[in-house]
Amino acid sequence: MIPYDKYKNLDEFITDIDDIGEIIFKHVEKEYSLYFDGEKVFISESYKQETEQIFNGINEFINDFILDGKPIKDIVTELDVVSH
């Protein structure tokens, strides 16, 4: 199996969100889809629209999104990047 990409740090994750705009990643056996339209960040568990959360920008997402009880900014290096 090919190993997943990993982020080295928070800045690399933020740059990816801003430059690429679409990221799919796994964390603790769940897959998540993130989309940035240049203004808002949309994130949900993949194929579960009812879990979608919308943030007014990257900074709000980085500071306010909680994943498995931890702020996303504290665990970006643990994410398994499926696509970006």
Q: What is the pLDDT of residue 80?
A: 94
Q: Does residue 3 lie in a domain region?
A: no
Q: Does residue 29 lie in a domain region?
A: yes
Domain count, the chain: 1
Q: Does residue 4 lie in a domain region?
A: no
pLDDT tens digit sequence for 10-62:
999 999 999 999 999 999 889 999 999 999 999 999 999 999 999 999 999 99
Long-range CB contacts (within 8 A, 24+) of 47-50: none
pLDDT tens digit sequence for 8-20:
999 999 999 999 9
The range of the structural domain enclosing residue 52 comes to: 10-83
Q: Does residue 56 lie in a domain region?
A: yes
**Least confidently predicted of 1-10, 19-28, 72-81:** 1-10
Give the SS3 label for residue 7. Answer: coil
Q: Does residue 1 lie in a domain region?
A: no
Q: Which residue intervals of 1-84 are DSSP H helices? A: 10-20, 58-64, 72-75
What does pTM read for this prediction?
0.91
